[in-house]
Structure 1
Amino acid sequence: MQEKIIILDFGSQYTQLIARRVREINVYCEIHPFNNCPEFDDSVKGVILSGSPYSVRDEDAPVPDLSEIKGKMPLLGVCYGAQFLSHNYGGEVLPSATREYGRANLEFVDSENVMMKEVSHHSQVWMSHGDTIAKLPENYKIIASTKDVKVAAYKIEGETTFGLQFHPEVYHSTEGTQILKNFVVDVCGCAQDWTPDSFVETTVAELKAKLGNDKVVLGLSGGVDSTVAGVLLHKAIGENLTCIFVDNGLLRKNEFEAVLDSYKHMGLNVIGVDAKKEFLGELDGVSDPETKRKIIGRVFIETFDVEAHKIQDVKWLAQGTIYPDVIESVSVNGPSATIKSHHNVGGLPEKMNLKIVEPLNLLFKDEVRRVGKALGIDDSLLGRHPFPGPGLAIRILGDITAEKVALLQEVDYIFIQGLKDSGLYDQVWQAGAMLLPIQSVGVMGDERTYERVVALRAVTSTDGMTADWVHLPYDFLARISNDIINKVKGVNRVVYDISSKPPATIEWE
C-alpha cells in the first residue's frame, strides 16, 4: 500500500505547490477539499492544512473536522492552517497592523526542534497574510520568529502538530523544502519511495489487473501527456491498445507525418486519420473563439467515434488526464469558471458507451515528463512545448481558411525552428505565432504593400497556471522577423507579445 500525505485544501492559490514540493521529496500526497476529507487508513502518514483566501475570523471561514486527526497523527498547518489551529483551540488571531506580504528572515530558530532541523539563522521565508497570531494557546511553543512576526512557527507540546505562518512551498522560502522534508520524513516517517520507476512499475501492474484482456482505444495528440499514457498502456496490454491520431488540418507544418512516424518507431499501434476537409469545412465563416472550440471538439468526437467503431470489442477509452485537471474538478469552490472549453474533450465516453482509464491522473506535468524518461521515451517528444487542442484555429484571430492556416504554419515553422537552431527552445515553456485580423502598410522594394500582421509569443511557466513572457535576444527576434517577412508571402509586419499571465492568457483566443 502506497504511503501518503493528505493535504486539506482551503482554497489557497499555493495548495498545488505544497503537493509538488512534497512529491519532489519522493513522497506521495493527495489534495482533498477540507469539507470532503477521505476515509483514512494505515497508508496516511500525516496531514497538511493549506492556506486560504479567507480569514479565520470570517463568518463563513472554512472549518475542518480535525477530531480524527489532531493529536492522533502528524499535522502541519500552513498560514491559514496555522492560524486555524491557534484561533480554534484557545489562541487569538487579529488583523496585522500592516499586511505581512513578501520576503522576511527568521531572527529566531529553535534548531533543537525537528521541524527546524538544518534551517539556518536568518533563513528567508515568504509571508502572505493579513492576520497575525496575537496569542497562542497554553501548550503551544514558538519555534521560529521574524523581526515582525513573533509566531512564525510553533509546535503543540505533547502532539506531533506544527504550524507555519509563512509559506514553505513557495520558491522564495529558500529552505522551505527542507522544512517540509523535516515534516514528511522525520515527523511522519515517510520512506521517500515515490519515484518515476516505482510509479511505472505500480501503474503497469494495476493496468494489467484492471484491463485484463480488454481492448482500449486512446486518442493521441502528439503531446507529452497522451504519448506517456500510450506508452504506459502499451507496456501493460500491448496489442490490445489502439491509438488514433486525427489530423484536424490545424496542426503545425509537417506535424501529422512526423508524429505518426515517431509513434511507429515506438512500437505503438497507431491509426492516422486525415480529417482536414471535415474540420475546415465546419469552421468555414466562424470567427467566435468559443464557437470554434466547440466545433473542433464536436468534429473530433464524431471523427474519433467513426474510427473507434471500426475496432472490434473496445471496452475502454484511455485519456491523458493529469492531476491538476482532477483537482480543478473537485476544488473547494467547485469547478472553476470556464476559461476555455476543449481542455479535455468531453462527450466521448457517453457517446461511445465506454469505461474510462486515466493512467496519469495522479501526476503533475513535470512528473509526467519524468515518468516518460523512465519509460525511455525520446527527449524530442518529452521536451515538446504544449500545443492547444484546437491547434492553430485559436491562433488565427477571426475566421479560418485553408490559406490562412498555410500562411501561419509557415510563420510558426520559421519561429519554432529558429528557437531550436539557436538553442533557445528548451528555455521556453511554450511558443507560437498568432495571425492577427488586421493588415498594415509596408514597403517592399519600391512598392507599397498592405499585408498581414503576425504576433510571436514565447512564455516560461511550470504548469500553465501563470506565465511570464520570455526575454528573447533582440538579434534573434530581428533575424526571425526578417526571415518571416522575406519568406512568407502575405506578411509585412511582425510584433512580439510581452504580456504575462495573468492578466493575459497564453493563447490569444
Structure 2
Amino acid sequence: MTSPATATPSVPVSTPQQHRPVLVVDFGAQYAQLIARRVREAKVYSEIVPHTWSVEQMLEKDPAAIILSGGPSSVYAAGAPFVDPKLFDAGVPVLGICYGFQAMARALGGEVAQTGLREYGGTEVEVCAAGVLLADTPDHQTTWMSHGDAVHRAPEGFEVLATSAGSPVAAFEDKGRRLYGVQWHPEVKHSAHGQTVLEHFLYDGAGLAPDWTPGNVIAEQVEAIRAQVGKARVVCGLSGGVDSSVAAALVQAAVGDQLTCVFVDHGLLRAGEAEQVERDFVAATGVRLVVRDERERFLQALAGHSDPETKRKIIGREFIRVFEDAARDIVAEAGEHGEEVKFLVQGTLYPDVVESGGGEGAANIKSHHNVGGLPDDLQFSLVEPLRTLFKDEVRAVGLELGVPEPIVWRQPFPGPGLGIRIVGEVTGERLEILRQADAIAREELTKAGLDREIWQCPVVLLADVRSVGVQGDGRTYGHPIVLRPVSSEDAMTADWTRLPYDVLSVISTRITNEVRDVNRVVLDVTSKPPGTIEWE
C-alpha cells in the first residue's frame, strides 16, 4: 500500500555554518561520550577521536579545542596511553580530565604518583585560586572523582587552582598557553559545578561561542545528504519511532521525492503503531510511504530460535531483504528512465554504534539490527544522518523539522520490536500476549501523566518461564510479565524509575485480569550498568 504525498513540510534549512570541532580524545573512559554530550549541551560542536591518533591527525580536523578524557590506566604503567608533548605547542586550547589531566601534567614535566589515598565518588575539593576554570564557584565544592594516582607537582608555568585530601594538585591552568586540567569529572552530574567548569573552558579559556543548535545540525546534514545521494533514489526503513522519523524528515528535506519510506509491518509492533505512522507522520511531512505486510515472513524466519543475538540478526537480515524487494518495485514503477535505488536511510544513533562495538576498543554489548545486525551482502549504501547524535539532540532536531510531537516524544522502541522483548522463541501467540500487556502498561502510564517522567518502559514476556498462580479459585501455570521503567538522559547509563505504587498496582491488576496466560507481574529494579535497558 502506498500513501502519496499530501503536504509539503516547512523545513528551516539555512546555509550551513561550518563548526570547528571540540575533539574529545578517548583514553578508554566510560564517560568519553558523556563529555562530548556535555560540550554539546553548552551549544558547542564536539567529536570523539581515539587516543591512538597522532597530533597531526588531530590538527587535520582543525579543532577549536581539545579535551583529554579520563581512562582506566596509570600514566606510568608500561604500555599506558600517553600524550605527545607536541600537542601543547600547537596553539590549541586543551583541557585534561582525570587521566587526561595526569597525562598532560606528566608530558609537560610535572610529577604524577600514587598518594596512598584513592578517591572514588563524591570528593570535596578546596579552591585556592579561581583562575579561568573555577571562577564564580565556591571555595569548597563537591566533585566526582575516580583515581588512585594524583598530580603531586604541577608543570612549570602552571597555577594550582584546587587541592583535595588525595590530590595535592586537583586542578591547574596555564592561562597564557590556554592549557587547563582537573582531576575530577566535570561531565558527571555529581560534580556540583561541573558544567560551569566545562563552560568556563569552552567560552573563556578557548573563546568559543555557543552557536551549535538544532538548526545548524539540519543545515549541515541536509548539505551532507545531498552531496552523498546526488540524484539517486533512497529508501528509508520507517518504524514510526523518533529516530527513523527524524532521519526520514532530514532526508526528505534534502532530496524530496527521491525518498520513499518503507514501513515494514513485521508483526513485532506494539498495538496501534502502523496506524500512527500513516495518520501522524505522513500527514505532517507529505512523505511517500509504502506499507508492506511481512508478518508471516518474519515469524517463519524466527521460528525455532531463542538466542537473542540470533534473533536480532535474523530480524536485521529480513528487514534488508524486504527493503531490496521494495527498491525493485520502486524502480519498476519509475520505468526504464528511473534512477536506481542506491541508498538506505537508517535512524542509527551514537549509543547504537557504541553498544554494537563501534569506535576503537568498544565492547560489542549487543548487535543493533541497524548496526551490527546487517547482512554481509548488503546492496545499499547507508545514509545515517543521526549517527553522531544522542536521543535528546534527535528530539530537538525533530521538533525543528516539524515532526509531530506524539512521535518526537514517543518512548524509544527497538528496531527488532517485540521480538527481543520475548525471552524465548517468538510465536504469534506470544506476541499477542505481550502486545496486550504492553498496551495496558502504556495506557496507564499515560493516564498517570508519566510519559515524560520516564525514558522508557520495556514490557518483557518471560516466555520460557512459568510460575504457579491462583486465578478464579483454581491453580494456573502462567508466564511472568516484567516491567522495566527506566530514567536516562542518553541511554548510555540509566536507573530504574520509582513509579508510584498505585500506578504499578493498577498495571499489575489489569494485566493479570485481562491478559490470558499471565499470572504474575514483576518489576525490574536494575540500573545500567550492570543491566542493559532491554533484556535482550
Q: Sort the TM-score into its range (normalised by shorter chain).
A: over 0.9
Distance 1:505 1:447 in 2: 37
Is 1:183 the counterpart of 2:201 in the alignment?
yes
Q: Which has the higher contact order (CA 8 A, sep 6+)?
A: 2
**What SS does the aligned partner of 2:459 have?**
strand
242, 245, 249: which one pairs with 2:267? 249
Q: Per the alignment, do residues 133 and 230 of structure 1 end up closer, same or farther by CA in structure 2, a change over 3 Å counting?
A: same
User: What residue number does 1:409 align with?
Assistant: 435
Is 1:331 the counterpart of 2:340 in the alignment?
no
User: What residue number does 1:445 align with?
Assistant: 472
Q: Per the alignment, do residues 349 and 260 of structure 1 end up closer, same or farther by CA in structure 2, a change over 3 Å counting?
A: farther
User: What residue number does 2:334 align with?
Assistant: none
How far the C-alpha of 1:209 sits from its partner, in A, is: 4.1
Tell me the alpha carbon deviations over residues 196-226 of structure 1, each in whole angstroms, 9 at most, x when there is no partner: 1222223223333443432211111222111
User: What residue number does 2:451 align with?
Assistant: 425
Contact 1:217 1:318 in 2 (8 A): yes
Distance 2:169 2:297 in 1: 63
373, 387, 390: which one pairs with 2:413? 387
396, 417, 422: which one pairs with 1:370? 396
How far the C-alpha of 1:357 sits from its partner, in A, is: 2.1
Specify the code of the residue in structure 2 equivalent to 1:361.
R
Query: How many percent identity over aligned positions?
Result: 45
Distance 2:123 2:243 in 1: 38
Between 311-320 and 123-132, report the one with greater CA deviation: 311-320
Is 1:301 the counterpart of 2:316 in the alignment?
no
- Specify every segment of 5 or more residues in structure 1 that has no aligned partner in the other structure, as ranges: none
Mapping for residues 43-58 of structure 1, pairs under 5 Å: 43-58=62-77
Specify the code of the residue in structure 2 equivalent to 1:47.
I
Between 324-333 and 440-449, report the one with greater CA deviation: 324-333
Distance 1:324 1:67 in 2: 32
Contact 1:260 1:272 in 2 (8 A): no
Q: Per the alignment, do residues 42 and 419 of structure 1 end up closer, same or farther by CA in structure 2, a change over 3 Å counting?
A: closer
**What SS does the aligned partner of 1:392 have?**
helix
Distance 1:468 1:238 in 2: 40
Contact 1:71 1:159 in 2 (8 A): no
User: What residue number does 2:22 align with?
Assistant: 5
How far the C-alpha of 1:432 sits from its partner, in A, is: 2.4
Is 1:219 the counterpart of 2:237 in the alignment?
yes
111, 122, 128: which one pairs with 2:140? 122
Tell me the alpha carbon deviations over residues 308-343 of structure 1, each in whole angstroms, 9 at most, x when there is no partner: 22122113222222234456655342x423434525
User: What residue number does 2:302 align with?
Assistant: 283
Q: Per the alignment, do residues 124 and 426 of structure 1 end up closer, same or farther by CA in structure 2, a change over 3 Å counting?
A: same
User: What residue number does 1:474 align with?
Assistant: 501
How far the C-alpha of 1:39 sits from its partner, in A, is: 4.6
How far the C-alpha of 1:80 sits from its partner, in A, is: 0.8
Contact 1:416 1:432 in 2 (8 A): no
Q: Per the alignment, do residues 66 and 500 of structure 1 end up closer, same or farther by CA in structure 2, a change over 3 Å counting?
A: same
Contact 1:395 1:508 in 2 (8 A): yes
Distance 2:22 2:288 in 1: 38
Specify the code of the residue in structure 2 equivalent to 1:14.
Y
Distance 1:424 1:39 in 2: 44
- Specify every segment of 5 or more residues in structure 2 that has no aligned partner in the other structure, as ranges: 1-17, 332-339
467, 483, 487: which one pairs with 2:514? 487
Q: Per the alignment, do residues 23 and 403 of structure 1 end up closer, same or farther by CA in structure 2, a change over 3 Å counting?
A: same
Tell me the alpha carbon deviations over residues 330-370 of structure 1, each in whole angstroms, 9 at most, x when there is no partner: 5342x423434525365468432x33322222322211111
Specify the code of the residue in structure 1 equivalent to 2:516.
K
Between 245-254 and 146-155, report the one with greater CA deviation: 146-155
Contact 2:83 2:107 in 1 (8 A): no
User: What residue number does 2:6 align with?
Assistant: none
Distance 1:64 1:149 in 2: 21
Contact 1:349 1:356 in 2 (8 A): no
Q: TM-score, normalised by structure 1?
A: 0.94
Contact 2:352 2:368 in 1 (8 A): no
Tell me the alpha carbon deviations over residues 371-408 of structure 1, each in whole angstroms, 9 at most, x when there is no partner: 11111222211111111222112222222221111111
Mapping for residues 27-38 of structure 1, pairs under 5 Å: 27-37=44-54, 38=57
Contact 2:351 2:491 in 1 (8 A): no
Specify the code of the residue in structure 1 equivalent to 2:404.
D
114, 137, 144: which one pairs with 1:95? 114
**What is the alpha-carbon root mean square deviation over aligned residues?**
2.1
**What SS does the aligned partner of 2:73 have?**
coil
Q: Per the alignment, do residues 332 and 432 of structure 1 end up closer, same or farther by CA in structure 2, a change over 3 Å counting?
A: closer
Distance 1:144 1:330 in 2: 36
Between 264-273 and 441-450, report the one with greater CA deviation: 441-450
